[in-house]
Amino acid sequence: MNEAYVNDRLMETLADIGVEATAVEELASQLLWRIGRVSDDGPVTVRVGLASSAGLFQSLPRLRSASDAEIESAVREDLLRVEWVGPRLRGGER
């Protein structure tokens, strides 16, 4: 999977949900994420949350490592699971 493909998919997804790329860039330094699987046969999961929610990450089941090939396959097959950790931002908040 090449970088251009990933970038194109990201831009399409952001456009579909009405989020500007600049907003994601502004939030990037304030986000934590973990990528892996809860179980060997579970979906590849990406957990994302604000740094202020770091303690909540610890209360969730631990994710085992997923290889680059597993992650690429999950993205390609639209099987990637994304979980937000912590309180959701309301419109206009950052």
Give the number of residues written for the chain. 94
The CA angle 54-58-59, to the nearest 5 degrees, is 115
Tell me whether residue 60 is in a domain: yes
Sequential DSSP letters for 9-31:
HHHHHHHHHT--HHHHHHHHTTE
* 3-state SS assignment for residue 36: strand
Domain that holds residue 34: 3-85
Contact between 56 and 83 (Cβ < 8 Å): no
Q: Is 61 a member of any domain?
A: yes
In tens digits, the chain (94 residues) has pLDDT values of: 677 887 888 888 888 888 888 888 888 888 899 999 999 888 999 999 999 999 999 999 999 999 999 998 998 898 999 999 998 766 655 4
CATH number of the CATH domain containing 54: 3.10.20.570
